[in-house]
Chains A and B, each alone.
Chain A
Amino acid sequence: MKKQNNAGFDRPSFFQKLLRQKMALAGGVCILAWLVIGVVSFFYTPYSPTEVAMGDKLLAPSMAHLMGTDNFGRDILSRMMCGARISLLLGFVAVSISLCIGIPLGAFSGYYQGKLSGLIMRVMDSLQAFPMLILVMSISVALGRNSFSAMLAVGIAGIPNFARLMYAQTLSVKQSAFIEGEHAIGLPRRQILFRHILPNCITPILVRLSLSLGSAILTISSLSFLGIGVQPPTPEWGYMISEARGYILTGEWWMIFFPGLAIASLVLSFNLFGDGLRDALDYRIQ
Chain B
Amino acid sequence: MSTLLEVKHLSKFYINKKRIFGGTPETVKAVNDISFHVDEQETLGIVGESGCGKSTTGRAVLRLHEPTAGEVLFRGTNILDLSEDEMRPYRQKMQMVFQNANSCLDPRWTVERSLAEPILLHNPGIGKGELDDKIDTIMEEVGFSPMYKKKYPHEFSGGQRQRIGIAKAISVSPEFVVCDEPVSALDVSVQAQVLNLMKRLKEERKLSYLFISHDLSVIRFISDRVGVMYAGRIVELAETREFFKNALHPYSKVLMAAVPKPVIMEDKNALYQGIGKISEVSRSGCPFATRCPHAMDICRQQMPEEREAAPGHKVMCHLY
Residues of B near any A CB (own CB < 8 A): 62, 64, 84, 87-88, 91-92, 95-96, 98, 100, 102-108, 117-118, 121-122, 147, 150-152, 154-155, 165, 168, 172
Which A residues touch B108, using CB under 8 A? 199-200, 283
A261 at the interface (CB under 8 A from B): no
Nearest chain A residue, comparing its CB with the CB of B113: A195
Chain B residues positioned under 8 Å from A178 (CB to CB)? 102-107
- CB-CB under 8 A from A8, the residues of chain B are 151, 155
> Chain A residues near B118 (CB, 8 Å)?
185-187
Chain A residue numbers with a CB within 8 Å of B117 are: 185, 187, 195
Q: Which residue, B102, B103, B152, has most C-beta atoms of chain A within 10 A?
A: B103
**Least Cβ–Cβ distance between A24 and chain B, in angstroms:** 21
User: Using Cβ atoms and an 8 Å threshold, which residues of chain B touch A188?
Assistant: 84
Q: Report Cα–Cα, A240/B118, bound state, in Å.
A: 59
**Other-chain contact of B147, A9, A189, A200 (Cβ < 8 Å):** A9
Q: From A180, A199, A200, A283, give the contact of B64 (CB < 8 A).
A: A180
Taking the nearest CB of chain A, how far is it from the CB of B224, in angstroms? 24
The 9 closest A-B pairs by CB, nearest first: A181-B104, A186-B91, A177-B103, A185-B118, A184-B96, A186-B88, A181-B103, A196-B106, A177-B102
Min distance, Cβ A279 to any Cβ of chain B, angstroms = 16
B100 close to A200 (CB less than 8 A): no
Q: Is A3 an interface residue (CB 8 A)?
A: no
Cβ-defined contact, B92 with A184, below 8 A: no
Asked if B105 and A185 make an inter-chain contact with CB atoms under 8 angstroms apart, the answer reads no
A180 to B92, alpha carbons, bound, how many Å? 15
Q: CA A199 – CA B107 in complex, angstroms?
A: 10
Cβ–Cβ contact A183 & B64, under 8 A: yes
Residue of B nearest to A185 (CB): B118
Q: How far is the CB of A224 from chain B (nearest CB, A)?
A: 41
* Cα distance, A187 to B122, chains bound together (Å): 10
Tell me, yes or no, whether A284 is within 8 Å of chain B by CB: yes
Which residues of B have CB within 8 Å of A200? 106-108
Q: List 6 A-B contacts (CB under 8 A).
A: A178-B105, A178-B106, A181-B104, A186-B91, A196-B106, A283-B152
DSSP class of A's interface residues: helix, strand, loop or mixed?
A: helix
Give A147-190 interface residues, CB cut-off 8 Å to B. Answer: 177-178, 180-189
Q: Are A181 and B105 in contact (CB under 8 A)?
A: yes
How many residues of chain A are within 8 Å of chain B by beta carbon?
Answer: 20
CB distance from A17 to the nearest CB of B (A): 14
Task: List chain A residues, Cβ under 8 A from B121.
Answer: 185-187
Cα A162 to Cα B155 in complex, Å, equals 32
Pairwise interchain contact B106-A184, C-beta atoms closer than 8 A: no
Which residues does chain B contribute within 8 Å of A185, judged by CB atoms?
91, 95, 104, 117-118, 121, 168, 172
- Which residues of the other chain, B, contact A284 by a CB distance below 8 angstroms? 154
Closest to B152 in A: A283
Q: How far is the CA of A177 from the CA of B161 in the complex (A)?
A: 14
Closest-by-CB residue of B relative to A191 is B121
Not counting A178-B105, A184-B62, A185-B168, a sample of 13 additional A-B residue pairs whose C-beta atoms are within 8 angstroms of each other reads A9-B147, A178-B102, A180-B103, A181-B103, A185-B91, A185-B121, A185-B172, A186-B88, A188-B84, A199-B108, A200-B107, A200-B108, A283-B108
A200 CB to nearest B CB, Å: 6
Distance A185 CA – B152 CA, assembled complex (angstroms):
20
Bound Cα distance A177, B108 (Å): 14
Contact present for B151 and A184 (CB under 8 Å): no
Chain A residues near B150 (CB-CB < 8 A): 9
Nearest-CB distance from B94 to chain A (Å)? Answer: 8
A181 contacts B91, C-beta separation under 8 Å: no
Which listed residue (B95, B107, B147) contacts A184, Cβ 8 A? B95
**Nearest CB in chain B: distance from A25 CB, A:** 24
- In whole angstroms, what is the CA distance A186 to B103 when docked? 15
Bound Cα distance A61, B249 (Å): 96
**A177, closest chain B residue (CB):** B103
Contact B64 A177 (CB under 8 A): no
Known contacts A187-B121, A200-B107, A200-B108; decide if A181 and B168 are in contact (CB<8 Å).
yes
Q: Are A181 and B151 in contact (CB under 8 A)?
A: no
Most B CB within 10 A of own CB, among A9, A178, A181: A181
Identity of the chain B residue whose Cβ is nearest the Cβ of A202 in the assembled complex: B108
Bound Cα distance A178, B152 (Å): 14
Measured in the bound complex, the distance between the Cα atoms of B239 and A159 in whole Å is: 61
Expressed in whole angstroms, the Cα–Cα distance for A283 and B153 within the complex equals 11
CB–CB B95/A177 < 8 A: no
In the assembled complex, which residues on chain B have CB atoms less than 8 Å from the CB atom of A184? 62, 64, 91, 95-96, 104
B residues in contact with A177, CB < 8 Å: 98, 100, 102-104
